[in-house]
Amino acid sequence: MTTPTGEAPKRRSERTDNSVKKLPNGKGWRARPTLGTDPVTGKQVRPTKVFATKKAAQDWVTEQRSQWSTAAWTPKSTRTFDEVADHWLTLRAADPSIGPNTVRADRESLAYARRAFGAVPVQKLTPAALADWSATLAGKDGKVLAPATKRRAIVRVKSVMVHARKMRWLTYHPAADLDSPEQRRSSRPRPTTAAQRTAAGLEAITLGKLRHCTSRMRAAGIAADVVAAWHGHTERMTQAVYGRVTDDR
């Protein structure tokens, strides 16, 4: 193909990646990729970092673009754990579905983490550091915490880290694999439902009917002081009210 003048058209040069450039002083390579537009500020996002070799700079550019394309990219930040926790608590307090007592309990549970690494930027908190903290978690005076208290402290830290990632202050969740003590189930019996009673062929017993067990215990020969202790009576009341339990006594 030729132009009207008979000359061959000039070929457009291939697009080059100018995100990596050698520094003028020759002491390294500067990587500065254009990732896209910040949806909040409307400005172009162009992180910058200097490397000793060109390959290291190119690898970093590839990583940054991959994170941006998967919405996992986050700018370098010095935002501390305390700041992230305060932001999370503020949003919790503004949620009408969350009561003030719940927010207060959340704040109390976060006190253990705040004392340990509240002033540390969240981007510097590693899974290993958080695992070490959870393993040695104790009260202010070094007292061993109850399993339920320890569990709540760890769960709240996880919630704060999830919030940091949602806000794009973290590229990953450093507390995702943090273990917490298992929640113990209550050993107290639960009341039966109407469906369960029907299935078992049981009658519904009111509290009023339960009082007759006092008479049954006296009829079985159990001492009056023992019966009184079981039912919260005085021995005198037990004798006066339940002293005659049969026609021959």
| C-alpha–C-alpha distance, residues 108 and 95, integer Å | 18
Q: What are phi and psi of 30, to 5 degrees?
A: -100, 125
Instruction: Name the DSSP letter for residue 164.
Output: H
What does the pLDDT read at residue 15? 41
What does the pLDDT read at residue 66? 79
| C-alpha–C-alpha distance, residues 17 and 32, integer Å | 10
What does the pLDDT read at residue 74? 65
Q: What is the pLDDT of residues 105-151, one digit of tens each?
A: 999 999 999 999 999 999 889 889 999 999 888 877 778 888 888 99
What does the pLDDT read at residue 36? 79
DSSP one-letter string for 57-123 = HHHHHHHHHHHHHTT--------BHHHHHHHHHHHHHH-TTS-HHHHHHHHHHHHHHHHHHTTSBGG
In order of their start, the domains of the chain are: 20-69 (no CATH), 81-166 (1.10.150), 194-242 (no CATH)
What does the pLDDT read at residue 12? 46
Say which residues have a Cβ less than 8 Å from residue 68's Cβ, sequence separation at least 6: 35, 36, 45
**Per-residue b or e along 176-205, where b marks 16 or more CB atoms closer than 10 Å to that residue's CB:** eebebbeeeeeeeeeeeeeeeeeeeeeeee
Q: What are phi and psi of 36, to 5 degrees?
A: 160, -160
The list of the chain residues with pLDDT below 50 reads: 12-16, 208, 249
What does the pLDDT read at residue 176? 85
Name the token pair of 138: 């104790």
| C-alpha–C-alpha distance, residues 22 and 95, integer Å | 51
What does the pLDDT read at residue 16? 45
- Cβ pair 51, 63 in contact under 8 A: no
The type of residue at 135 is A
Q: What are phi and psi of 67, to 5 degrees?
A: -65, -40
Is pTM beyond 0.75? Reply is: no
| C-alpha–C-alpha distance, residues 222 and 216, integer Å | 9
Say which residues have a Cβ less than 8 Å from residue 225's Cβ, sequence separation at least 6: 235, 238
